[in-house]
């Protein structure tokens, strides 16, 4: 899910995962940037299931930026492979901007996915990362933008 308390006009990111445990089947546009009838351009990115990456996922409002309600940025459909284990689903190079091109502060919450027969224990690490940057043009540093585990995750049963 994604939310912001300031105007936004675009977002981009990459996704990495363990290709021995899961594969990305598809990526679909979410509703975050479609709110209020905005015209947008969306890229579902390039999926590489051998490397465990999806690059060039982005969405841009074609027009004025706006404050938007909490919604999914994109929906990722995953397929479990025939191995068991914990797969990290990590968002990298996440950039959220306004119509001036200013980068807004971002908080990312990544996910750990149990695949197959896995004994779950208390997480050993905090998977949350924060990158705050002051906007070079406005000095604005108050954006609360949270992207949680890429929005929505759907699993298709093992083949």
Q: Tell me the fold of 2-156.
A: Immunoglobulin-like (2.60.40)
pLDDT above 70: percentage of residues in the chain: 76
| Token pair belonging to 89 | 């689903």
Three-state secondary structure string covering 101-150: CCECCEEEECEEEEECCCCCCCCCCCCEEEECCCCCCCCCCCCCCEEECC
Max mean pLDDT among 47-51, 76-80, 118-122, 124-128 falls in 47-51
What is the model's pLDDT at position 66? 81
Write down the pTM of the prediction. 0.73
Q: Do residues 38 and 56 touch, judged by C-beta distance below 8 A?
A: no
């Amino acid at each position: 899910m994604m939310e912001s308390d300031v105007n936004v006009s675009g977002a981009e990111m990459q996704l990495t995962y363990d290709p021995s445990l899961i594969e990305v089947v598809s990526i679909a546009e979410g509703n975050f940037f479609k709110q209020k009838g905005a015209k947008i351009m969306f890229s579902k990115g390039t999926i590489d299931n051998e490397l465990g990456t999806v690059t060039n996922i982005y969405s841009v409002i074609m027009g004025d930026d706006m404050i938007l309600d909490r919604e999914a940025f994109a929906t990722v459909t995953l397929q479990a492979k025939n191995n068991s284990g914990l797969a990290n689903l990590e968002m990298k190079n996440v950039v959220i901007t306004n119509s001036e091109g200013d980068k807004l502060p971002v908080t990312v919450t990544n996910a750990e996915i149990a695949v197959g027969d896995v004994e779950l224990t208390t997480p050993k690490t905090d998977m949350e990362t924060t990158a705050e940057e002051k906007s070079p043009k406005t000095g604005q540093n108050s954006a609360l933008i949270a992207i949680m585990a890429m929005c929505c995750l759907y699993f298709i049963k093992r083949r």
